[in-house]
């Protein structure tokens, strides 16, 4: 079997990026895949060959890709890259994750004090379910929308020792997946599913890690304070005796998230080539008939910012929203391919405290 791969990196005072490429032989020909992004984050994946081609054609595409990156200053890493498996067609897995309603930090104290809820760190990655069996002979990645998405070859290999069908729920951090649930049997309580999760992945590779959990008031308070001091993204509370319920409840629920800083999904309304900035909008969901677009200011694009175009949905970090004005100190975090436009809502924005 023919296989060539390379792991590249680029680092200066403003950016720290990786770019991985691979040429892989399949039964019907060869393909060239790639993955790129900030070091330690979930990588964007793709392919230069939408269908298998001859080795000569694939090799030409592979060499051209590598040369174009090295010409821009990328250098080769010492064998710690992540070869990727690329999915080019949108395939519905028929699996849906449980989505969480949000709490404020003040509201979170109720769940810290309640021993019917456990607490975990909320990681800053992409929602990722791992599915094997249930119609799939090998492990497949599934995103927040339930669509099959690429996994790195390292994650795929880490899953191989698990020889039973499973549906695992977690957060894709790029170099690893932080797992927090085994929903193969969703009717079980969370504490039972968490125990099964440990049993499921005990033989798996280091790329699969089970999220640490605090179960009692004292340990939850200690973890909560530590994560605030570490400027973590936030925490998640889960009712320990509740089953897994796919989708997001209209209100309440058995699982909640509390973010320590605010992010918002926005739609790119305009792109300025002169000022290196993008205009942002969300939908005003208070409108009685239909959603109306509302501009919420501009975010500056830096040299290491991802490329965006009008209509893209982007994740923005910000301090607060000035009512009737704009986001204060917005920062472009990433482009989102797993969020619908109708999820970009004015009501979700954090207002400035009086």
Domain coordinates in residue numbering, the chain: 3-85, 101-259, 262-348
Instruction: Tell whether domain 262-348 is in CATH 2.30.30.40.
Output: no
CATH superfamily name and code, 101-259: DNA ligase/mRNA capping enzyme (3.30.470.30)
Q: Is 131 exposed, middle or buried (0-12, 13-18, 19+ CB in 10 A)?
A: buried
Fold identical between 3-85 and 262-348? Answer: no
Q: Which of 326, 303, 298 is nearest to 314 (CA)?
A: 298
Per-residue confidence (pLDDT) for residue 80, from 0 to 100: 45
Q: Are residues 48 and 61 in contact, defined by beta-carbon separation less than 8 angstroms?
A: yes
Torsion angles phi and psi, residue 252, rounded to 5: 65, -140
**Mean of per-residue pLDDT scores for the chain:** 88
What is the average pLDDT across 25-30? 84
How many Å apart are CA 42 and CA 177, to the nearest integer? 9
Which tens digit of pLDDT belongs to each residue from 166-193? 999 999 987 789 999 999 999 999 999 9
Model pLDDT, residue 259: 87
Would you say 159 and 139 are in contact if contact means Cβ atoms under 8 Å apart?
A: yes
* pLDDT mean over 276-283: 94
pLDDT at 87: 54
Check residues 23 and 37 and name the one with the higher pLDDT.
Answer: 23
Range of weakest confidence among 26-40, 49-63, 133-147, 253-267: 26-40
- Statement: residue 89 has pLDDT above 70: no
CATH superfamily of 3-85: WGR domain (2.20.140.10)
User: Rounded distance, CA 173 to CA 168, Å?
Assistant: 15
Flag whether pLDDT at 10 surpasses 90. no
Bridge partners, residue 4, by sequence:
23
In this structure, of 98-112, 114-128, 134-148, 191-205, the range with the lowest mean pLDDT score is 134-148
Greater model confidence, 19 or 79? 19
The structure tokens listed for 72 are 């821009």
Q: Which residues of 58-90 are buried (b: 16+ CB within 10 A; e: fewer)?
A: bbebbeebbeebeeeebeeeeeebbbbbbbeee
Statement: residue 40 has pLDDT above 80? no
Q: How does residue 289 score in pLDDT terms, banded at 50, 70 and 90?
A: low
Mean per-residue pLDDT, 289-294: 82
- With 0-12 / 13-18 / 19 or more C-beta atoms within 10 angstroms meaning exposed / middle / buried, residue 96 is middle
Q: Are 136 and 168 in contact (CB under 8 A)?
A: no
SS3 call for 283: strand
Residue 188 near residue 199 (C-beta atoms within 8 A): no
140-144, 154-158, 190-194: lowest mean pLDDT where?
154-158
Closest CA to 44 of 62, 19, 24: 19
Task: Give the pLDDT confidence score for residue 351 in this predicted structure.
Answer: 82
pLDDT of residue 4: 87
pLDDT, residue 1, reads 63
pLDDT digits (tens, 9 = 90+) for 237-253: 999 999 999 999 888 99
Tokens of 340: 């619908």
Determine the pLDDT at residue 281. 96
pLDDT confidence of residue 14: 67
Helix pair angle (217-229, 105-113), 10° resolution: 150
Position 198 scores a pLDDT of: 95
Question: Is this structure's pTM higher than 0.75?
Answer: no
């Amino acid at each position: 079997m023919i296989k060539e791969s390379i792991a590249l990196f680029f680092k200066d005072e403003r950016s720290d990026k990786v770019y991985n490429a691979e040429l892989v032989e399949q039964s019907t020909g060869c393909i060239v895949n790639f993955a790129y992004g900030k070091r330690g984050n979930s990588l964007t994946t793709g392919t230069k060959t939408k269908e298998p081609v001859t080795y000569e054609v694939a090799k030409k595409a592979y060499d051209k890709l590598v040369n174009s990156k090295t010409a821009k200053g990328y250098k080769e890493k010492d064998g710690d890259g992540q070869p990727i498996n690329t999915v080019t067609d949108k395939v519905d897995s028929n699996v849906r994750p449980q989505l969480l309603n949000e709490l404020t930090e003040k509201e979170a104290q109720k769940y810290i004090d309640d021993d019917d809820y456990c607490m975990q760190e909320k990681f800053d990655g992409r929602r990722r379910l791992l599915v094997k069996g249930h119609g799939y002979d090998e492990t497949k990645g599934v995103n927040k929308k339930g669509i099959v998405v690429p996994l790195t070859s390292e994650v795929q290999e880490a899953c191989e020792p698990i020889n039973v069908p499973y549906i695992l729920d977690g957060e894709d951090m790029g170099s690893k997946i932080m797992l927090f649930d085994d929903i193969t049997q969703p009717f079980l309580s969370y504490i039972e599913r968490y125990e099964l999760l440990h049993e499921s992945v005990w033989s798996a590779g280091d790329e699969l890690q089970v999220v640490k959990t605090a179960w009692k008031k004292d340990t939850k308070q200690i973890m909560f304070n530590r994560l605030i001091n570490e400027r973590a993204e936030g925490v998640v509370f889960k009712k320990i005796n509740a089953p897994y319920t796919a989708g997001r409840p209209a209100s309440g629920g058995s699982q909640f998230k509390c973010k320590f800083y605010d992010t918002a999904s926005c739609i790119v309304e305009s792109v300025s080539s002169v000022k290196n900035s993008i205009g942002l909008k969300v939908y005003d969901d208070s409108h009685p008939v239909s959603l109306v677009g509302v501009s919420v200011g501009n975010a500056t694009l830096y040299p290491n910012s991802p490329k965006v175009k009008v209509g893209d949905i982007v994740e923005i970090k910000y301090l607060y929203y000035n009512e009737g004005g704009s986001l204060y100190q917005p920062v472009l975090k990433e482009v989102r391919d797993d969020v619908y436009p109708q999820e970009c809502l004015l009501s979700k924005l954090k207002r400035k405290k009086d």
